[in-house]
Amino acid sequence: MHKDFLDIIDYTPEELQELIDLAVELKKEYQQGGNQPVLKGKVLAMIFQKPSLRTRVSFEVGMYHLGGNALYLSPNEIGLGQREAIADVARVLDGMVHGIMARVFDHEHLLELAHWTTIPVINGLSDYSHPCQALADILTIYEEFGQIKDINITYVGDGNNVAVSLMQIAAKLGANFTIANPVDYDMPAESIETIRPYAEASGSKLTFLRDPHEAVRHAKVIYTDTWTSMGQEEESAKREAVFPPYQINAQLVSEADPDAIVLHCLPAHRGQEITDEVADGPHSRLFPEAHNRLHAQKAVLYNLLGNK
């Protein structure tokens, strides 16, 4: 496979399926008594420009489960591209650790880190995409329905980085992807055009709507994210005026498939994009999905850092 895990678009459908199968295997192994120490002696440097709960804990625990170690590097310690040039940070770490996970604002920073290193770089989140989240999402869907192909996934809300990665993995693996979002909050046109050939190859239908009620019809999966992402705080008031019709509430869920599940990458702003009734209700898979970050990322770590 590849040296890095920066974007879903870089991986073939076969490679993505291999990662999902490996995640299922590692999760089962862990539940039956623990994972083998396949990353013994390996160290992952974790660079953070943004706060984190799931990303930090899942990578740190994932390395621990696989016999390795993880090193947390806070924004103040690194100052990526400010205190020290990205190329310099990359080349210093290149000689000390076995891999880098970076959670950044600017996707270009990830690309630059990868350019200057011989070790794997993993995208823990950027302003463009969130491939680790998408892998955990699709693992959750696979566990729930026993398949990925032809599953109707509907994303309701901002066409952001999470939506981009979810669309990419759905299109590559043959799930149908629908998004309903307000005017001026569309997904990047370039992302849509880049993924279309893969959707045609897999039989995935891509649908772009404004009306959330139309979007959730026949949906097996309803997905949402916060209306205002980190770095967009100055837009909060404007967004809170636009997005209320896109709230995932009991009424909207009732209009989907009776067996539909609800996903959210978290953190959730309860009472905004999702109600307590839904987040804590029978359709919710928010917490199994969060837990699957651990198992999906173990597959990525094993694939990139393991002695195979």
Q: Which of 55, 39, 37, 36 lies closest to 47, judged by CA?
A: 55
CA atoms within 13 A on the CB side of 88: 8
- Does pLDDT of 206 surpass 70? yes
Measured distance CA(34)–CA(38) in Å, rounded: 12
Architecture of domain 8-130+295-301: 3-Layer(aba) Sandwich (3.40)
Higher-pLDDT residue of 295, 229: 295
What would the pLDDT profile of 157-177 be if each residue is shown by its tens digit? 999 999 999 999 999 999 999
Peptide linkage before 120 cis (omega within 30 of 0): no
Which residues of 104-159 form beta strands (DSSP E)? 121-125, 152-156
Per-residue confidence (pLDDT) for residue 124, from 0 to 100: 98
Q: Where in the chain is the domain with CATH 3.40.50.1370?
A: 8-130+295-301, 132-289
CATH fold for the domain made of 132-289: Rossmann fold (3.40.50)
Contact predicate 77/21, CB 8 Å: no
For residues 171-198, average pLDDT:
98
Tokens for 24? 């299922």
| Catalytically active residues, by annotation | 103, 130, 133, 225, 265, 293
Per-residue confidence (pLDDT) for residue 307, from 0 to 100: 67
What would the pLDDT profile of 89-120 be if each residue is shown by its tens digit? 999 999 999 999 999 999 999 999 999 999 99
Record the pTM. 0.96
In degrees, to the nearest 5, what angle opens at C-alpha 221 toward C-alphas 18 and 224?
Answer: 105
